Amino acid sequence: MASQSSFDVTTSVDLQEVDNAVNQAQKEISQRYDFKGSIAEIDFSRAEGTLNLTAESEYRMEALFDALQSKLIKRGVPVKNLDVGEIKPAGGDKVTRLIKLKMALDGDTAKKVAAAIKDAKLKKVQAAIQGDQVRVSSPSKDDLQEAMTLLRGRDFGVELKFGNYR
């Protein structure tokens, strides 16, 4: 009997790269002429996995977000894993925006990944949800490669990472 091969489907964000991108964006904002004398802050909370942006107006908020997003892209942080909140008025003349980082597959996304594999009807390929990851197994490594290709071709709202390939 052939042994089972498998891989795990997960998602994550490198918090150190997010921290580096935030520092670069803050440095750029402090040197930009259109932000001289104005309030523009980025507060990164590693423990909660959130970014809190504060600016004077919606226009400056958009410019602040664009600067942060460009630095995140340059640092290789997947922007699909950002859950961007609405711009909300804060005290005084300020506005804030909360951005949450998607650190793991939520239940709905895991179900969509498992359903996509089952709907493709690949021979002897099985998907099982295990907490915040999906384990895909099959006796044939070629079928697993086909499953990876299938998942890469679809959009699940987060960037999928494939690991623990055995």
Whether the Cβ atoms of residue 50 and residue 101 lie closer than 8 Å to each other: yes
DSSP 105: -
Element counts in the chain: helices (H) and strands (E):
4, 8
Each residue's pLDDT tens digit in the chain (166 positions)?
457 888 888 888 888 999 999 999 999 998 888 888 888 888 999 888 899 999 988 888 899 999 999 999 999 988 888 888 898 888 788 899 999 998 888 888 888 888 888 888 888 888 888 888 888 888 888 888 888 888 888 888 888 888 877 7
Cα 131 to Cα 10, 39, 119, 166: the distances in Å are 10, 41, 21, 19
Backbone angles phi, psi at 113, to 5 degrees: -65, -50
The full set of domains in the chain, from first to last, is: 5-11+105-163 (3.30.70.860), 15-101 (3.30.70.990)
In this structure, is the dihedral angle defined by the CA atoms of residues 163, 18, 88 and 61, taken in order, positive or negative?
negative
| pTM (2 d.p.) | 0.81
Please tell me the distance from the alpha carbon of residue 31 to that of residue 55, in angstroms, as a whole number. Answer: 15
Backbone angles phi, psi at 159, to 5 degrees: -85, 120
